[in-house]
Amino acid sequence: MDTAEKNLVELSAGGDIDAFETLIKTHQKKVYNIALRMTKNPDDAQELAQDAFVRAFVAIKKFRGDASFSTWLYRITMNVCTDFLRKRNRAVVISMEQGAVGSEYENPIQLPVEGPGPDELTEKRQLKQLVRGAMDSLSPEHRQVLVLRELMDLSYKDISKTLNISEGTVKSRINRAREGLKQVILNKPEHFKDYVVKLYRKGGDS
Protein backbone atom coordinates (compact mmCIF):
# COMPACT_ATOMS: atom_id res chain seq x y z
CA MET A 1 0.00 0.00 0.00
CA ASP A 2 1.52 3.34 -0.97
CA THR A 3 1.63 6.34 1.31
CA ALA A 4 -1.18 8.20 -0.42
CA GLU A 5 -3.47 5.19 -0.14
CA LYS A 6 -2.52 4.66 3.48
CA ASN A 7 -3.31 8.26 4.17
CA LEU A 8 -6.73 7.94 2.55
CA VAL A 9 -7.45 4.80 4.55
CA GLU A 10 -6.65 6.63 7.78
CA LEU A 11 -8.80 9.60 6.86
CA SER A 12 -11.64 7.26 5.87
CA ALA A 13 -11.36 5.46 9.19
CA GLY A 14 -11.97 8.82 10.82
CA GLY A 15 -15.22 9.16 8.86
CA ASP A 16 -13.98 11.35 6.00
CA ILE A 17 -16.35 10.54 3.13
CA ASP A 18 -14.41 12.57 0.54
CA ALA A 19 -11.24 10.62 1.33
CA PHE A 20 -13.12 7.35 1.06
CA GLU A 21 -14.57 8.32 -2.30
CA THR A 22 -11.11 9.16 -3.60
CA LEU A 23 -9.86 5.84 -2.27
CA ILE A 24 -12.50 3.79 -4.04
CA LYS A 25 -12.57 5.81 -7.28
CA THR A 26 -10.46 3.35 -9.23
CA HIS A 27 -12.22 0.32 -7.79
CA GLN A 28 -15.83 1.26 -8.45
CA LYS A 29 -16.06 -0.19 -11.91
CA LYS A 30 -14.41 -3.42 -10.85
CA VAL A 31 -16.64 -3.85 -7.84
CA TYR A 32 -19.73 -3.13 -9.94
CA ASN A 33 -18.64 -5.70 -12.51
CA ILE A 34 -18.02 -8.34 -9.87
CA ALA A 35 -21.55 -7.76 -8.63
CA LEU A 36 -22.92 -7.72 -12.15
CA ARG A 37 -21.41 -11.07 -13.09
CA MET A 38 -22.43 -12.59 -9.79
CA THR A 39 -26.03 -11.37 -9.86
CA LYS A 40 -26.56 -11.15 -13.64
CA ASN A 41 -28.76 -8.13 -13.11
CA PRO A 42 -27.72 -4.44 -13.37
CA ASP A 43 -30.13 -3.20 -10.68
CA ASP A 44 -29.06 -5.81 -8.14
CA ALA A 45 -25.44 -5.20 -9.11
CA GLN A 46 -25.68 -1.48 -8.36
CA GLU A 47 -27.39 -2.13 -5.06
CA LEU A 48 -24.86 -4.76 -3.98
CA ALA A 49 -21.79 -2.86 -5.16
CA GLN A 50 -22.98 0.06 -3.07
CA ASP A 51 -23.68 -2.24 -0.13
CA ALA A 52 -20.09 -3.43 -0.40
CA PHE A 53 -18.74 0.12 -0.36
CA VAL A 54 -20.89 1.12 2.60
CA ARG A 55 -19.77 -1.98 4.45
CA ALA A 56 -16.14 -1.23 3.64
CA PHE A 57 -16.56 2.36 4.80
CA VAL A 58 -18.02 1.28 8.14
CA ALA A 59 -15.40 -1.43 8.64
CA ILE A 60 -12.35 0.39 7.32
CA LYS A 61 -10.91 1.02 10.76
CA LYS A 62 -10.45 -2.74 10.95
CA PHE A 63 -8.44 -2.80 7.74
CA ARG A 64 -4.83 -3.22 8.75
CA GLY A 65 -3.09 -3.01 5.41
CA ASP A 66 -1.57 -6.50 5.45
CA ALA A 67 -3.28 -7.32 2.19
CA SER A 68 -3.91 -4.70 -0.45
CA PHE A 69 -6.96 -2.52 -0.09
CA SER A 70 -8.39 -3.90 -3.32
CA THR A 71 -8.12 -7.52 -2.14
CA TRP A 72 -9.91 -6.58 1.05
CA LEU A 73 -12.57 -4.68 -0.88
CA TYR A 74 -13.14 -7.51 -3.38
CA ARG A 75 -13.53 -9.91 -0.54
CA ILE A 76 -16.22 -7.80 1.05
CA THR A 77 -17.91 -7.49 -2.35
CA MET A 78 -17.87 -11.26 -2.78
CA ASN A 79 -19.34 -11.77 0.67
CA VAL A 80 -22.11 -9.30 -0.02
CA CYS A 81 -22.90 -10.98 -3.36
CA THR A 82 -22.84 -14.53 -2.07
CA ASP A 83 -25.01 -13.53 0.86
CA PHE A 84 -27.50 -12.08 -1.60
CA LEU A 85 -27.44 -15.16 -3.81
CA ARG A 86 -27.98 -17.42 -0.85
CA LYS A 87 -31.01 -15.50 0.27
CA ARG A 88 -32.40 -15.59 -3.22
CA ASN A 89 -31.74 -19.24 -3.89
CA ARG A 90 -32.13 -21.02 -0.64
CA ALA A 91 -33.68 -24.03 -2.30
CA VAL A 92 -31.21 -24.32 -5.15
CA VAL A 93 -29.27 -27.55 -5.07
CA ILE A 94 -25.72 -27.06 -6.16
CA SER A 95 -23.81 -29.90 -7.70
CA MET A 96 -20.07 -29.91 -7.85
CA GLU A 97 -19.68 -31.34 -11.30
CA GLN A 98 -22.76 -30.22 -13.13
CA GLY A 99 -22.84 -26.61 -12.07
CA ALA A 100 -26.16 -25.69 -10.57
CA VAL A 101 -29.49 -27.37 -10.85
CA GLY A 102 -32.45 -25.22 -10.04
CA SER A 103 -34.83 -22.75 -11.51
CA GLU A 104 -32.39 -19.87 -11.63
CA TYR A 105 -29.82 -21.84 -13.54
CA GLU A 106 -32.08 -23.40 -16.05
CA ASN A 107 -32.18 -20.27 -18.13
CA PRO A 108 -31.36 -21.33 -21.63
CA ILE A 109 -28.24 -19.80 -23.03
CA GLN A 110 -29.05 -16.91 -25.27
CA LEU A 111 -28.27 -17.74 -28.85
CA PRO A 112 -25.94 -15.22 -30.38
CA VAL A 113 -27.92 -12.77 -32.44
CA GLU A 114 -27.03 -13.11 -36.08
CA GLY A 115 -25.15 -9.99 -37.02
CA PRO A 116 -25.25 -8.11 -40.28
CA GLY A 117 -22.17 -9.74 -41.73
CA PRO A 118 -19.52 -12.31 -41.03
CA ASP A 119 -16.91 -9.70 -40.18
CA GLU A 120 -14.63 -10.30 -37.26
CA LEU A 121 -16.22 -7.68 -35.06
CA THR A 122 -19.57 -9.44 -35.27
CA GLU A 123 -17.98 -12.77 -34.55
CA LYS A 124 -16.23 -11.34 -31.55
CA ARG A 125 -19.47 -9.83 -30.30
CA GLN A 126 -21.25 -13.14 -30.71
CA LEU A 127 -18.55 -15.01 -28.88
CA LYS A 128 -18.71 -12.44 -26.09
CA GLN A 129 -22.45 -12.95 -25.77
CA LEU A 130 -21.92 -16.69 -25.84
CA VAL A 131 -19.34 -16.62 -23.06
CA ARG A 132 -21.48 -14.31 -20.96
CA GLY A 133 -24.43 -16.66 -21.32
CA ALA A 134 -22.29 -19.66 -20.44
CA MET A 135 -20.80 -17.80 -17.50
CA ASP A 136 -24.26 -16.97 -16.17
CA SER A 137 -25.24 -20.61 -16.33
CA LEU A 138 -22.41 -21.73 -14.04
CA SER A 139 -22.82 -22.35 -10.32
CA PRO A 140 -22.20 -19.34 -8.07
CA GLU A 141 -18.90 -20.68 -6.79
CA HIS A 142 -17.58 -21.27 -10.30
CA ARG A 143 -18.80 -17.85 -11.45
CA GLN A 144 -17.15 -16.34 -8.44
CA VAL A 145 -13.72 -17.81 -9.06
CA LEU A 146 -13.86 -16.89 -12.75
CA VAL A 147 -14.89 -13.33 -11.94
CA LEU A 148 -11.89 -12.98 -9.65
CA ARG A 149 -9.54 -14.48 -12.19
CA GLU A 150 -10.82 -13.14 -15.50
CA LEU A 151 -12.34 -9.79 -14.56
CA MET A 152 -10.23 -8.85 -11.56
CA ASP A 153 -7.11 -10.44 -12.96
CA LEU A 154 -6.11 -11.60 -9.49
CA SER A 155 -3.27 -14.06 -9.01
CA TYR A 156 -4.02 -17.45 -7.47
CA LYS A 157 -2.44 -16.19 -4.30
CA ASP A 158 -4.74 -13.18 -4.11
CA ILE A 159 -7.78 -15.29 -4.95
CA SER A 160 -6.78 -17.65 -2.21
CA LYS A 161 -6.67 -14.72 0.23
CA THR A 162 -9.90 -13.25 -1.06
CA LEU A 163 -11.87 -16.47 -0.70
CA ASN A 164 -9.93 -17.81 2.25
CA ILE A 165 -9.14 -21.09 0.52
CA SER A 166 -5.81 -22.74 -0.30
CA GLU A 167 -3.97 -22.03 -3.55
CA GLY A 168 -4.32 -25.69 -4.47
CA THR A 169 -8.08 -25.34 -4.18
CA VAL A 170 -7.97 -22.17 -6.27
CA LYS A 171 -6.08 -24.00 -8.99
CA SER A 172 -8.43 -26.96 -9.16
CA ARG A 173 -11.52 -24.81 -8.85
CA ILE A 174 -10.51 -22.51 -11.70
CA ASN A 175 -9.76 -25.50 -13.83
CA ARG A 176 -13.14 -27.06 -13.03
CA ALA A 177 -14.95 -23.78 -13.62
CA ARG A 178 -13.34 -23.27 -17.02
CA GLU A 179 -14.00 -26.85 -17.92
CA GLY A 180 -17.62 -26.24 -16.96
CA LEU A 181 -17.67 -23.12 -19.09
CA LYS A 182 -16.31 -25.04 -22.04
CA GLN A 183 -18.76 -27.89 -21.59
CA VAL A 184 -21.69 -25.51 -21.49
CA ILE A 185 -20.52 -23.89 -24.69
CA LEU A 186 -19.81 -27.16 -26.47
CA ASN A 187 -22.73 -29.19 -25.21
CA LYS A 188 -25.50 -26.73 -25.82
CA PRO A 189 -26.79 -26.06 -29.34
CA GLU A 190 -24.53 -27.78 -31.76
CA HIS A 191 -23.60 -24.80 -33.88
CA PHE A 192 -21.86 -23.19 -30.92
CA LYS A 193 -19.24 -25.83 -31.26
CA ASP A 194 -18.64 -25.08 -34.93
CA TYR A 195 -18.58 -21.46 -34.07
CA VAL A 196 -15.91 -21.75 -31.43
CA VAL A 197 -13.85 -24.24 -33.37
CA LYS A 198 -13.96 -22.03 -36.44
CA LEU A 199 -12.82 -19.07 -34.44
CA TYR A 200 -9.86 -20.68 -32.85
CA ARG A 201 -8.73 -22.39 -36.04
CA LYS A 202 -8.67 -18.96 -37.60
CA GLY A 203 -6.70 -17.60 -34.66
CA GLY A 204 -4.24 -20.48 -34.99
CA ASP A 205 -3.52 -19.75 -38.64
CA SER A 206 -2.69 -16.11 -38.24
Partner 1 sequence: MNSCNLCLENLSAYLDGELTEAENQAFEAHINACDACSDELALMTSILSVFDELEEDLPEDFETSLHDRLVAAKEENETKRNRVGKIRFISQIAAGFVLVITLGLVIRSGFFGVQKDSASGMAAPAAAPEQVAGGAMTTQQNNIYKFSVGFAEDAETAMNSSSITEHDPIQVDDIGENIVDDGHVNVDKRALAMSFNEGIHNSLEGKDTLVTIRVEDMKLALDSIVAIQKKLEDGDAPNLSTLKTVRDNYYRGLDQNVEISLFYSNDVLWQEFLSEMQEAFPDMDVQSVAAKEESEHIRVLIQTVE
Identity of the residue, 182 or 191, whose beta carbon is nearer to partner 1 in the bound complex: 182
* Residue 197 engages partner 1 in binding (rule: CB under 8 A): yes
Site for partner 1 in 3-62 (CB under 8 A): 15, 17, 20-21, 28-29, 32-33, 36-37, 42, 46, 49-50, 53-55, 57-59, 61-62
C-beta closer to partner 1: residue 32 or 105:
32
Least distance (Å) from partner 1 to the CB of residue 24?
A: 9
Sign of CA dihedral 135, 141, 142, 148: positive
Greatest Cα-to-Cα distance within the chain, rounded to the nearest angstrom: 58
Do the Cβ atoms of 48 and 82 come closer than 8 Å? no
Residue closer to partner 1, measured from CB, 7 or 33: 33
Cβ neighbours of residue 100 under 8 Å, at least 6 residues apart?
A: 92, 93, 94, 138, 139, 140
Number of residues that bind partner 1 (CB under 8 A): 78
Considering only residues 141 to 170 of the shown chain, the ones binding partner 1 according to CB under 8 A are 141, 144-145, 149-151, 155-156, 161, 163-166, 169
Considering beta carbons, is residue 105 or 141 the nearer one to partner 1? 141
Stretch that binds partner 1, among 3-11, 102-110, 113-121, 130-138 (CB under 8 A): 130-138
Cβ pair 10, 17 in contact under 8 A:
no
* Binding-site string for partner 1 from residue 172 to residue 191, where x marks contact by CB under 8 A and - marks none: xxxx--x--xx--x------
**Residue ranges in 69-128 that form contacts with partner 1 under rule CB under 8 A:** 71-72, 75-76, 78-79, 82-83, 85-87, 93-96, 124, 127-128
Minimum CB separation from partner 1 for residue 118, in Å?
A: 17
CA distances from 154 to 29, 135, 150, 163, 177 (A): 15, 18, 8, 12, 16
CA distance 41 to 119: 30
95 beta partners:
99
Give the whole-angstrom CA distance, residue 167 versus residue 159: 8
**Cβ-based nearer residue to partner 1, 66 or 114:** 66
Give the amino acid at 184: V
